[in-house]
Each structure stands twice: as C-alpha cells, then as structure tokens.
Amino acid sequence: MAMHHLVPNPNAAPASRFAKTRRPFLEPISNPKNNPHFEKPPFTNNVNLTLPLRVVVPDVAAAAATAKKLVFHVIGDSGGIHGDDVQVAVAEAMEDQIKSAKGADQPSFLYHVGDVVYFNGQSELYGAQFYEPYQYYPAPIFAIPGNHDGDTRVRRDDPPDTEPSLFGFTENFCAPQAHQIGAYRATMTQPYVYWTLDAPLVTIIGLYSNVEGTLDARGAFEQQRWLEEQLSSLKSDDRFIVVAVHHPPYSLDKTHGGYPDIAAALDQAMVHTGVIPHAVVSGHVHNMQRFTRRYSNRQIPYVIDGRGGYANTDRLAHKLQKSDDGEYPTVPVTTVSTHDENLDLDLNYYDQDSAGFLRVTVTTEKLTIDSFTVPFDGGFEDIVRDTVTVTREGRIDQPSAGGRRRRR
C-alpha cells in the first residue's frame, strides 16, 4: 500500500502550536505542513520538456549507446558560501575519476540534485559558487533546482533578493541558447526547471520540489500531471528510470526528515501509472543516506546525497536522530513510520562525517550507485564506501559494502 494522500494520522503525536514536533526515532517522514511556502516557477511556453543527451554531447551519447554503458556523477547542496575549499575538493575528486578512467568507464556528465547557489540562487553568485569551483570539471553539468535556488526570502541582515524566483537557475541552466557566462563553461539549455534527460540506457526525470518540498501548490496538479505523463510514456521502454528530486521523501536526519508531499506525489504517480522507478536520488539533507524500499514486489534504492560542499565542516553536516539511549542507528535497520504504516523501508548505509558524491553506472541489465567520501580535512581516496546494484526487473542484486560512517 502506498502513501496516497496527505491525511493526518490519528495515531501520530499531536502537533504543537509553538514548535515543530520532533519525530520518533527511526521515523523517516516529517509531519506535513499546513501551508508550505510555495513560489510559482517561471512561465514556460516549451511543450517538450525532454532534452536528449545526444543534443548536448552527441559523441558521448553515441559512444555510450555503442558500449552499452553510461557512467555519470551525482552531487547535491554544493554552493560554497562558507568557502569553496570543500566544494573544490569534491569537484577535483570527480575530475580525477574522469581523467583516470578509460573509454566507457569515464563519467560522461554531472547531475546536480539542487541547491547550486546559496542562499537565494542569485545570478551574481554563480561565478563564485558554480563556474569557478567546476572550471576544471571536463564534462557537462545538468541540474534541478533546490529550495535555495528558488527561495526569494532573505535572511536577517542580508540584502534583498531583487530577482524573481529561479532567475539565476534559469539563466544558467535553462538558457534558450548556450552562451558564455563563465570563462570556461557555457550555459546549459535544459527545457525547464523540471525536465527529463533522455540518455542511452537510462531516463532521468528531474522534479522541482519548490521551497518547502512540494511539486505543486495546494490544490494544483501541474507538475504531478507531468510526472505521471513521463512515467506513462516509459511503460514500454526498456531503459532504467531514475527520479531526481531535491527534497527527499525519506530521511532519518534530525533537522529535516523526509518530505510527506514528495513521498505522496511519487507514490500516487506509481499507483496511477503502474510504472516504478529503479532508483530515487535526492539532496537537501547535508549527509548521505541509502535506503531500500520494498514496494510492489520491487526493491528500490532511495539515495540522499547532499555532501557537495555547502557543508564544509562537521558542524554543518546534518546528523541522524539518536535513540533514547543516545545512539545513532546501527545499519541495516528497518524504519518505523506512523505516517505510512505500510512503508517497508530499510536504512542500509549513511555517512554524516564528510563531503562526497555518487557515481552511477548503467548497463543494459544493471544500475549501480557507488558512494565516495571526501574528507573535510585531508586527501581524497578513490575508494567505494558503499554500493548498491539494481536490476532492470527491480531487484537489488549485489550486497552493499554496508556499515556506516558516524561519530557520536
């Protein structure tokens, strides 16, 4: 049974009028907000919101199709407003992987799952927080926006944000024609702020979860309808399907937790279309967590990676909730949700002590997600810290490296 609607659970702890209700230990979904802040995305007259990889890098797409193998990186929450030292270290680690790999094993692009520029996505900050840190990354960078890319509300003592919501993001990622803003990297020509990347072996459906974790404003259905159309169009497709969304549907961190609107939106789309993604990737939470969800006789990895460099110290990394005994979870562990009592979800791995990134490898039969860590202090070691492989039939076929990286 899926989480179909955002109906308050009568068994859940009552909400306080004065404070956010702390979730129970191992509860992966936060309490719904009555009126989450929503900023209307910019208007588009584009009918087709799909961009084929072959349009951007035709040689790379052709080589992947011939080799029947595609490799790419994933990061989130990178904007180095506190200093770009860790953001650059992550970028250099990914650059080294591209340079050291050969042929089809070379990562072909980077997919950013949001929060490119802090704190309000201003266009004037793209040089310092995007173009300069990735000036040596030798591949295209695609993205979906996060809350900080779209939020126009400023913090106390910050200058007012004079640009419309997502202005900086659309200028740099959704340009009508590629042109130079940075000295070395051209703008991208993605069709919209939510969009589909059509690549050999895999389709990536990128969603925009707005400022507080909703696809649409209350009472609206535009992006939800588009998501269901995208999934329906892939019913007969033999490629892997990955859904990317900034706000995670499930998380055990103590700061945010999972977003119930996103969990409900994805479940509704799966129920209404009968199409189940092979993996879901998110950011927003400044750590890495990997879950396995058992749903409709499938096993789906839900992976969070918000270690792209905004959190450049251990203090800024988001920690998981502790038990009543003051202990972090020991994995693997099964979550317990009062919001979705039928949720069958295990936490398999987490890293809350470092920066890092993911590397995704797709073949005709398997999709593998590898996790790498980049220490806040010290050098990068090109070692897979965690891995999961899912088959085209939706079965996890390879045991993970397992374990955890944690501090008490």
pLDDT, average across residues 327-341: 97
CB 197 within 8 A of CB 148: no
CB 266 within 8 A of CB 230: no
The answer to whether 253 touches 285, Cβ cutoff 8 Å, is yes
Q: In whole angstroms, what is the distance from residue 227 CA to residue 377 CA?
A: 40
Q: Quick one: pLDDT at residue 15?
A: 60
Tell me the average pLDDT across 348-363.
Answer: 98
CA distances from 175 to 69, 179, 189 (A): 29, 8, 5
pTM given for the model: 0.95
Query: Which domains, from first to last, does the chain contain?
Result: 50-398 (3.60.21.10)
Distances (CA, A) of 356 to 67, 93, 109, 169, 250: 28, 9, 16, 23, 20
Q: Tens digit of pLDDT for each residue in 71-103?
A: 999 999 999 999 999 999 999 999 999 999 999
Per-residue pLDDT reduced to its tens digit, 166-197? 999 999 999 999 999 888 999 999 999 999 99
The pLDDT tens digits of the residues spanning 212-253 come to: 999 999 999 999 999 999 999 999 999 999 999 999 999 999
pLDDT tens digits for range 20-52: 788 999 999 999 988 899 999 999 999 999 999
In three-state form (DSSP H/G/I as H, E/B as E, the rest C), the secondary structure along 193-204 is CCEEEEECCEEE
- Comparing CA positions, the residue from 280, 214, 285, 212 lying closest to residue 252 is 285
